[in-house]
Structure 1
Amino acid sequence: MTTATMKYYFTRTPVNRVVQKFYIGSTYGYALQLNNPSGSNDPTPNVVLSRGLLPTDGTKEIRLTDYMYLNNFGHGQTLEFFNWNGQDYFWIATNAADQVNANEYWSTQIGRVTFQSNTTIDYKDIKRLSSISSANKNGTPAFKLARADAALSSTPTANRTDNGKQRILLMSSDSTNADGTYQLTAYNSDTINTKLDQSSTNYLGCDKLTSSVVSTYKIKNKQDKFVIPNGSWQGLEFADNNMVYISGGQKGDTPKVIRGNWRFTQAKTVSLSGFSDTANVETEGIQLKGSQVLIGLEFHGGSDTPHTVYSFDKSAFD
């Protein structure tokens, strides 16, 4: 077991739902939640993205103060910050599926959004990648798409064949549980942003991006070293060295993160401790930040601080 330490917790969340994905920047922390104003856990295609200043007084509270409402974005685990041509964006999962699957409207596209407080937008308002199942070198559907997420490598790496540019990873599946087939595809993120800028519509099909694919493959759960932790795909990250991180764990599961090389011929899973309420913990999204892995842990047992971000060192995978 690897001991994780609480780094932050969110307060003033606008709805009583878990923080599916967070982002910790240099000034602000962001939290992404399904947006059901009634407070119920009924399926909803809408989400809310919230922002608060990081504490500077040695405390751990991120007090959310600004809110952006994203309609029909669906249930996703993607919130990846980047700057493009002087404008700040997030890659975000979007386009809620037409039908409820496993009690959720899962996201099926990947788009880019700029945070604007006190605004409401629809998924059709943003530039986005569609036909995610066709994100391969053939440009044909790998399967009937059930859900999709994305992750962005942290910084350029000079020894890559694509001139050291950041890469965006798309991971999709034909199932919302662990037992499906997965497709992982890497692109040069600058190439994708350029093509989105050039698109005459707000959507760009991955079937039109065959020549931009850096690498892609399909894999099943428990094939080679590819194992969805706890059978629950909750978070995704992509490192500069092409390592893929996946977090997983439903309520009561020991939080786990797997790190594998690009094709998962090698991998290691880390199990986390460092919190007392093991019966009510749920694993959510992850973020790579320097030498640390940040992980969202939700506590369902009436905790005063249910929406938390814990951290542990990447060396746990060595």
Structure 2
Amino acid sequence: MDTLKDRVCIITGAGRGIGREHALLFAAEGAKVVVNDLGGAPDGSGSDATPGAEVVAEIRAAGGEAIANADDVSTWEGAERLVKQAIDTYGDLHVLVNNAGILRDRMLVNMSEAEWDAVIQVHLKGHFAPLRFAAAYWRDQFKAGVRVPRSVINTASTSGLFGQPGQTNYGSAKSGIATLSIIASAELGRYGIRVNAIAPAAATRLTSSLVDQTGEERDPDAWSPLDPSNVSPFVAYLATADCPINGRAFFVMGGEVHLFHPWRIVDSLSKDGTWTVEELQEQAAGFQEFTFDYGHPLGPQA
């Protein structure tokens, strides 16, 4: 306990699912938590401040410190207000957990412009905008001589890192978030800011397809690897002041944590001079024969 004592933490999308579990654990570990949740439907429509307020009430009833925020983090103004509220309320900001998201699944040829734009907006811009305002504040603090460890944990997905048909919008945003994390870690490390990403697997209202489809009855009291609370301890570890990890992406599910390897070159052709199309017809087709071991923890068909 108290591994996050007095760390001021923003958690977006914290009214339900994985975000809620993050907020409860962070508070139990001594953090001062800003519970952000717009309270929309799984597809992003509507808004309801109730879920976020209920999480705050639960934290306070357990003796923790928390405030609610219902700003839309996918907007520039909402992200700025969220970061400002944390600083104005608690005097500082140490941790940002970007977790908010929506789903609008559709096969590529049937996807509408609105379905593409909404998912990219909430996920990718909804990660970038809070990070931008938090990082600007942290940079100014660092230049002013306030050298405090800061941490950002972004939420990617195996849908982006491994690929999932029917989710070109979601997967593109999530792989973009992983790349955002790596680049941000390189830019912000000089200011004492660590940026990492997780790709969680858990049974929530956004990931119901992950739930066991065998039809067998489960013991509600038995431990399940798809319980969202399994993901939060590793996120809390990444948020601790003395965690050394920076610029990494992880798959987290149940009792497992797996480190991703970013893009790397695995095969090549070379010659002195410029290739002709005919030469490439003869030699480049072999690239298709190269097989990849993605190392997917859930198996090749997951």
Asked which structure has the greater CA Rg, the reply is: 2
Q: Which has the higher strand share?
A: 1
**TM-score in terms of structure 1 length:** 0.31
Where is the helix percentage greater, Structure 1 or Structure 2? Answer: 2
